[in-house]
Chain A
Amino acid sequence: EVQLLESGGGLVQPGGSLRLSCAASGFTFSSYAMSWVRQAPGKGLEWVSAISGSGSSTYYADSVKGRFTISRDNSKNTLYLQMNSLRAEDTAVHYCAKADAVGATYPVCDWGQGTTVTVSS
């Protein structure tokens, strides 16, 4: 059974930083691209970033480019999202998600339970 467990969310001041983690199990982690998708309170879904299985290719939404960095440690079956220069509009539940198929980045088919990031002074 695929399991994705996010952690690292919390309350941070504008301009601050957080690092989210997503511990994966139940599948060959290095074979699958992974993504981060977020959802602001009461709002819709927003794709944030994705990374290939090897980690050699990364992709970012314009809204986070230059501020967020996605990475993975395949030896630890863990996905990361380093979030810098945080803004109020980054407040959201952040989900990690696994690609549906080997070799594809999208769509995603398995999701974690989400971790909440709140940016406020």
Chain B
Amino acid sequence: AIRITQSPSSLSASTGDRVTITCRASQGISSYLAWYQQKPGKAPKLLIYAASTLQSGAPSRFSGSGSGTDFTLTISCLQSEDFATYYCQQYYSYPTFGQGTKLEIK
């Protein structure tokens, strides 16, 4: 199985900050990577797929980049509603998720 290492596991930031979360795959996955946002007690929400394509309805302050083994999710200007847990997922082969990054208010 392809392993995904996501970092950091937690992150403290303030409204208006720019934050970056990274995922590294144990082997090349081309651009078969998605990013999800999950709030407590809720189902995840798809933000980005194909590494850099913004899902319809997702705010433009979210962006993704990378290919091969290294990927990044950037939130350009944090809003209060962005404080949540973020997961990356590879779907090059049977899907696997990163461990998650909990984004908290500083």
Contacts and interface: CB of A to CB of B under 8 A. Distances in A.
Interface of B: 1, 32, 34, 36, 38, 43-46, 49, 55, 87, 89, 91, 94-100
Interface stretch (A11-19, A24-32, A76-84, A110-118): A110-118
B95 A47 contact: yes
Nearest to A112: B43
Interface in A43-62: 44-47, 50, 59, 61-62
A105 B36 CA distance: 16
Interface in A82-121: 95, 97, 100, 105-109, 111-114
Contact of A109 (B46, B94, B98): B46
B99 A44 contact: yes
Interface residues of A, number: 22
A47 B46 CA distance: 15
Nearest to A105: B91
Given A45-B87, A108-B46, A62 B97 contact: no
Contacts of A106: 32, 34, 89, 91, 95
A113 to B, nearest CB: 6
Contacts of B98: 44
A104 B44 CA distance: 19
Contacts of A105: 91
A94 to B, nearest CB: 11
B94 A45 contact: no
